[in-house]
Chain A
Amino acid sequence: MIVPMSRVRIIGPKDVVDAVLRAVQDLGQLQLAELPDRAGVRPARLGPARERRRRQLTRLLEDARDALHSLRVAPHRVAPATITTADFARWARLARRTRREARTLLDRQAALHDERALIARYREFLLAVLPAIRKVANSKRLTSHAVVVPASARGTVDGLASALREELGAEFTMSIHPLPGGDVAILLILPDEFSNRLEARLAEARVPEVPLPDAYRSLPLAETVPQMLARLMAIPAEVGECERSLTALRKAHGGEMTKAQAVVQDWLAAASARERTAETGHAFTIEGWLPARSVAPLEQRVREAAGPTVIVETIAREDWGAEDAPVVLSNPRLFRPFEKLIALLPLPRYGSIDPTPFVAVFFPLIFGMMLGDVGYGIVLGAIALIVHARAKPGSLARTAAEIAGPCAAFAIVFGVLFGEFFGDIARRTLGVRPLLLDREQAVFATLAAAVGLGVVHVVLGLALGAVAAGRKDARRAVGRGVSAVMVLLVVAALLAAFKVLPARLFTPAVILLLVAFPVLVFAEGVLGMIELMTTLGNVLSYARVMAIGTASVILAVVANQMVGAVGSTVVGLLFALLFHLVNFAIGVFSPAIHALRLHYVEFFGKFYSPGGRPYEPFGHGTAAAVPATQEKPA
């Protein structure tokens, strides 16, 4: 459900505004609102000293954040502490220094990784050509060049080789080594007097030399190669040293920086809140939203902090619009994970219907009806349990596991109804019969069940639409209600026509449809008729439940048939397992996407009213409360 909100106005003497703001921040429930213009009331401003402090603390916060990010410190709560101006000054110095040191270590580490990657890339080439390079080094006539031809120009190597051979004579030799990624490294050996001509040729052909770390650029290859190979052994120790320094820095200052970040964030939030108050010569006022149940605690906190001179008054519901109020969803524990599925859309508008409880029931139901297999359901349930046990509370993985649990339960229930255990294994081996229908054979009955589910879901959506519209537009509510009834009448008429229901119901159903028609046109106009046709299309869209379900069971049956179809039983079993694995992956992904789509398009389209504002109360961040003894924020 959407939590009922209240808009409150706090009025009091100006000298207690800071105490009031601190109490509001400690409570962490009030979302500050823009103040309406009133004669004689002006927005409050921070003084020059406070503005200067804000600039300093903004810089401090930036340094602290960057330092914590570099030190890979995870955000966590810290205990409240007493803070003084000296603490802020100390933190500013510490944050700047820690940021600089951490950045230097990270840059050093990155440079070492780059160096290691560069040497490792050419290691095989260098090892292979090292004897030749040494031989050249001992010769007074010969010189060597190591070049790299990019993968895109690899086809030109042969042409380049023959051109160079022709130009430089028989003493010219080259050895080619392919590199990872398709590039080619080449060692060229030639008489020293041709060195300049070769360099010119290579420059023309845009063939670069093998890139060397900066430290070796001025050395000859014969000295460079052994040093580079030795360096490859030394780099891991240096990387480890950097890592140890980072860990030491994290241990030394991580906690202090986290506390600094939290307290400074609070200070800056309080300064922003101060600017959202309005004041006269002697009084201040501030307005905001909070859950209706939190009004009394707010009054108590404010009274305790600032005394009876401060008034907290609730603004009458008629004086504010629903579109301005922030939206807070509150659902039972079991339904709460499904709020994440709603969060993929814009929030519902305040005063409209929160679809979470309906999604929490129908999403697993539709998913289960599509997957509908005891075996797959058990596997999914087991995976959900493992992920739930390992994932952190509140993480995406934990939420996914909490959604997957009910989905698995429904898949098992429908698996029992359809008599499916990894396809037809239970039927073939144990003679199990489906309790409801056989999806493999009774295709039409499965289709009818899927469309029947669509009728229920869509009519429920229309009913919710009627309820939602009834709060502000009675005529539209009637239109939604009549649409729902007409969908039911169309279904009844069709069932009577096909003799599923008694045939005598056909005529009354058609007569009622004819009566409802002008009511619908009156309530919703001609568009109402078009919308009704769309709604009937929406119902048919639920046929996908049958389509995906049937595809899933047939794939599972095909997987089982592989055991006997391939010569060796073991090979057949492996193929069957692989096929089941693929089918399971498809069988989980596809129903999830389609169940989501059926909700977003077919169901929500009937009643969902997006456009709600998120609830962002003024409070403390992830960190400590700013205690009353600390430096006052205003």
Chain B
Amino acid sequence: MNIMWIAIAAAAAIGLTALATAWAQSKIGSAGAAVLAEKPELAGTVIILVAIPETMVILGFIVALSLILRAGGG
């Protein structure tokens, strides 16, 4: 039972943050594509803007990993 909850928690940690990142990137990405059509020289700035929300899923991944490792999954 305990392991099941740890697994669910780990899945939620990575899954929810992945969804949040995907939602944020979809908004930023579409706006970024529109910006690039007008001003291709802003490619670097757009990459930064699109990449910023990825930190959420990376942190979610770390939390999920630490949960699994604590449960002896590693």
Contacts and interface: CB of A to CB of B under 8 A. Distances in A.
A600 B49 CA distance: 10
Contacts of A430: none
B33 interface: no
A49 interface: no
B22 interface: no
A597 B65 contact: no
Nearest to A548: B58
B45 A447 contact: no
B37 interface: no
A530 to B, nearest CB: 16
Given A444-B74, A447-B65, A547-B61, A600 B47 contact: yes
B51 interface: yes
Interface string B35-57: 00000000111011001101100
B62 A597 contact: no
B61 A597 contact: no
Interface in B7-42: none
A594 B51 CA distance: 8
Contacts of B58: 540-541, 543-544, 547
A543 to B, nearest CB: 5
B18 to A, nearest CB: 12
B1 interface: no
Interface string A329-358: 000000000000000111000000000000
A597 B59 contact: no
A541 B65 contact: no
A345 B51 CA distance: 14
B38 to A, nearest CB: 16
A597 B62 CA distance: 19
B69 interface: yes
A601 B61 contact: no
A520 B15 CA distance: 37
A544 B17 CA distance: 14
Contacts of A346: 44
Nearest to A600: B48
A345 B55 CA distance: 21
A540 B60 CA distance: 11
A407 interface: no
A222 B35 CA distance: 55
Contacts of A596: 47, 51
Interface residues of A, number: 18
Nearest to A605: B48
- Interface size class of chain B, counting residues whose CB lies under 8 Å from the partner chain: 10 to 19
B45 A597 contact: no
A447 B55 contact: no
A537 B44 contact: no
Nearest to B41: A346
A443 B59 CA distance: 15
Interface string A440-460: 000110010000000000000
A597 B48 contact: yes
B62 A344 contact: no
Contacts of A443: 65, 69, 74
A601 B61 CA distance: 19
Contacts of B74: 443-444
Nearest to B59: A540
A100 to B, nearest CB: 33
A543 B61 contact: yes
A543 B62 contact: yes
A593 interface: yes
A534 to B, nearest CB: 10
Contacts of B62: 447, 540, 543
Interface string B63-74: 001000100001
Contacts of A447: 62, 65
Interface in A518-547: 537, 540-541, 543-544, 547
A601 B49 CA distance: 9
B44 A345 contact: yes
A537 B55 contact: yes
B69 to A, nearest CB: 6
Interface in A298-353: 344-346
B24 to A, nearest CB: 14
Interface in A585-634: 593-594, 596-597, 600-601
Given A544-B54, A544-B58, A444 B69 contact: yes
Contact of A344 (B43, B51, B59, B69): B43
Contacts of A544: 54, 58
Given A597-B54, A600-B47, 11 more contacts: A344-B44, A443-B65, A443-B74, A444-B69, A540-B55, A540-B59, A594-B54, A596-B51, A597-B51, A600-B44, A601-B51
30 contacts: A344-B44, A344-B47, A345-B44, A345-B45, A443-B65, A443-B69, A444-B69, A447-B62, A447-B65, A540-B55, A540-B58, A540-B59, A540-B62, A541-B55, A541-B58, A543-B58, A543-B59, A543-B61, A593-B47, A594-B51, A596-B47, A596-B51, A597-B48, A597-B54, A600-B44, A600-B47, A600-B51, A601-B48, A601-B51, A601-B52
- The 10 A-B residue pairs with the shortest CB-CB distance in the complex, in nearest-first order: A344-B44, A597-B51, A345-B44, A600-B48, A544-B58, A344-B43, A541-B55, A543-B62, A543-B58, A443-B74
